[in-house]
Chains A and B, each alone.
Chain A
Amino acid sequence: MALLSVRDLRTYFVADEGTTRAVDGATFDLYAGKTLGIVGETGCGKSVTARSILRIVERPGRIVSGEILLQRDGGYIDLAKLDPDGREIRRVRGGEIGLVFQEPMTSFSPVHTVGDQVIEAIQLHRRLDKARARARAIELFRMVGISRPEGRLDEYSWQLSGGLRQRAMIAMALAAEPRLLIADEPTTALDVTTQAQILELLRDLQRKTHMAIMLITHDLGVIAEMADDVVVMYLGRVVEHGPVDQIFHAPKHPYTQALLRSIPGIQHEARVKLPTISGSIPHPFARPAGCPFHPRCALVMACAAAPDGVCCDHHEPELITVEEGHSVSCHLYRKKGAAVPLALESAR
């Protein structure tokens, strides 16, 4: 049974200049003890998806349709239907679902000690007096690997290094023992050796607490390192969804394939021409019709060439299951049974 089910979520930003479909039909499940990686480039809607779940989407953005079902007491509550300022969602936010942001520098107030902020978070969700809450904060700091936790509690966020700040942020997110931790680019602002420490910490905490993790990043290396399942997003759409090994070793969507090829990896041959994805990510107001990736896709099918007249520049593809637990939204896979179309094989 899924801990959290997102069903056809759509979050739009309606402004005078036009409507941005930031999230446009996202569907995925999160399970206890598992990590779901959400990967995509700028404007793919990965952060707005996370903000939608917690109901902290900024105006003029709002959820226009879809369900966000959180399992509770054997049933489900739909977070999408809750009042974003109401009591109920505040119980979920920081309580059942913890959040870690990208920038630990701006996520803490500079005028209060980190200890006070963590203690506040604890008291929001737990009925503990100040002394007990402080003891709990020390325990949390120790759990996330902060040395001398008693002293660190009385420091300000700007006195901590980037790695320590991110650890303190994670401690705060874990204050109420959430069942789900949403980590939005948790290591993007960190150096590579610190990143390795934080990823190890998240893995370790998951083993101990069995929480689900939703890991949002643009870094495919981090995804390969951490995720059990992967959702690849492009311009608000889920283009591919599957087990991590399938995504990296048998990707189906032309975008996923091209993305993986274009990374300059440290194991790759140097100074050769990298395969690129032509063009750039379209402006959200100029979202292409049909499949949002079609103007950049090397395997785009024009109307005349497409079987049954369904083509990439007119018809938006739906997610199609290509094998157990692996789905892709691409017209190349529309025919039932044909797992890998000819055009794709020749492109490999």
Chain B
Amino acid sequence: MSTIVTPPPTAVPPQPPAAPLRERLTGQILLDVKDLKKYFVIHRGFLRRTTGYVRAVDDVSFQIQEGETLALVGETGCGKTTTSRCILRAIDPTSGQILFRTESGKTVDVATISKRELRPLRRQMQMIFQDPYSSLNPRMTVLDIIGEPLLVNGVKSRRERIDRVEELMRLVRLRPEYMRRFPHAFSGGQRQRIGIARALALHPKLVVADEPVSALDVSVQAQTLNLLLELQNTLGLTYLFVAHNLGVVKHISDRVAVMYVGQIAELAEREALFRSPKHPYTAALLASVPKPDPRLRGQRKPLPGEVANPAAPPTGCYFHPRCAFAVERCKVERPAWEQISPGHWVRCHRARELTLPGIETSSTVAPAAN
């Protein structure tokens, strides 16, 4: 007979299952991104003449409803991080609108408002970073790290800050006794929770999470994903989740936008996108993911070629040189951003006629209960 020993205190206690989408949504559109563009100028030579542009984000449009999770997924250089940085106005977009519905119900264009007007907005949009090692100042205690946004936003009383930090640490399942420790005393997963607590300090509405679990070990990844889902339910958060790992994206998102060379190739509800992708790039991405089951081996043909250079993208559809379904039209004409069924947007000339293989959600391989 074996005895089940109580797990150590860092363990995440049982949580309620994620609330269904309909219950989480308020029906309000929190963020409305329209025709967003961000071009980086390429300078050459002594006179630093402009010789070209890197179209990092090229005509991106999407909406996020209050309470939902939209995932931006794509490969290196597809513009997913640049898009998220534009939304937070960490960088200035070249053109386009980023309409954000503030707490007071007013809609502002984050893309164009002045830095002074932006300041109070920053509180409502927060960021969780990828690397829990470099994103925390090693010389600051956890109290100072999580308390800093409070201090900056006018919580001058130290006592008040300590109380709030304590509350936040409990929220992310860290022990408040450790608030006077430095980041190095924590594991990667715990540091990521410190980063999450810092992001939540000011009651944000929108949380932009850029690859928040990709630096973590598999066993710690699951804890962090559970925490993010739970926080969304309890605090009514809206997530813009930037990631390259499709398994993680499938797990956390309500809707998914697949980016390729600065553009969104396809945007749809999670199940629709995974089960019946409409863009050949989405289908190729899904097929490329190694499945953790040796019996499914050898069911894929690697996508040929490499991601196009955003400084010199191909003519027509950016994906056509690698696409198995490309026709003459794809080489010359750039496909439009079209809604082919309710909520399902695709940028592909052949989206309506193609039937592409997707991934079935299999109940037999669903994770067993612990």
CB-CB under 8 A from A164, the residues of chain B are 306
A86 sits at the interface (CB 8 A): no
Task: Mark A237-248 against chain B: 1 for CB-CB distance below 8 A, else 0.
Answer: 000000011001
Task: Mark B214-230 against chain A: 1 for CB-CB distance below 8 A, else 0.
Answer: 00011111110110010
B81 sits at the interface (CB 8 A): no
CB-CB under 8 A from A245, the residues of chain B are 294-295
A348 sits at the interface (CB 8 A): yes
Cross-chain contact of B292 among A218, A263, A269 (Cβ < 8 A):
A263
Chain B, interface SS category: loop
Number of A residues, CB within 8 Å of B: 67
**Number of A-B residue pairs with CB-CB distance less than 8 Å in the complex they form:** 218
A244/B294 contact (C-beta < 8 A), A191-B76, A194-B306 known:
yes
Cross-chain contact of A224 among B189, B220, B225, B292 (Cβ < 8 A):
B292
The answer for the CA separation of A261 and B361 in the assembled complex, in Å, is 15
CB-CB under 8 A from A305, the residues of chain B are 1-3
Contact B291 A270 (CB under 8 A): no
Contact B370 A261 (CB under 8 A): yes
| CB closest chain-A residue, reference B271 | A270
Contact B361 A276 (CB under 8 A): no
Contact B217 A221 (CB under 8 A): no
CB-CB under 8 A from B285, the residues of chain A are 192-193
Contact A273 B244 (CB under 8 A): no
Contact A272 B18 (CB under 8 A): yes
A337 sits at the interface (CB 8 A): no
CB-CB under 8 A from B368, the residues of chain A are 261, 275, 348
Contact B218 A272 (CB under 8 A): no
| CB closest chain-A residue, reference B15 | A273
Cross-chain contact of B300 among A196, A218, A262, A302 (Cβ < 8 A):
A196
Contact B367 A266 (CB under 8 A): no
Contact B294 A248 (CB under 8 A): yes
| CB closest chain-B residue, reference A307 | B1
CB-CB under 8 A from A219, the residues of chain B are 290
The segment from B48-56, B111-119, B248-256 found at the interface with A is B248-256
Contact A276 B219 (CB under 8 A): yes
Contacting residues of chain A (202-254) with chain B, CB-CB under 8 angstroms: 218-225, 227, 244-245, 248-249
A344 to chain B, nearest CB (A): 9
Contacting residues of chain A (253-282) with chain B, CB-CB under 8 angstroms: 258-281
CB-CB under 8 A from B162, the residues of chain A are none
Contact A268 B366 (CB under 8 A): yes
CB-CB under 8 A from B4, the residues of chain A are 298-300
| CB closest chain-A residue, reference B229 | A271
B360 sits at the interface (CB 8 A): yes
Given A259-B218, A276-B12, 15 new contacts (CB under 8 A): A41-B219, A222-B290, A245-B294, A248-B294, A249-B295, A262-B221, A266-B246, A266-B247, A266-B250, A267-B359, A272-B367, A275-B368, A279-B8, A281-B220, A299-B2
Chain B interface residues (CB < 8 Å from chain A): 1-5, 7-8, 10-12, 14-15, 17-18, 75-76, 187-190, 217-223, 225-226, 229, 244, 246-248, 250-254, 270-271, 274, 284-297, 300, 302-304, 306-307, 359-363, 365-370
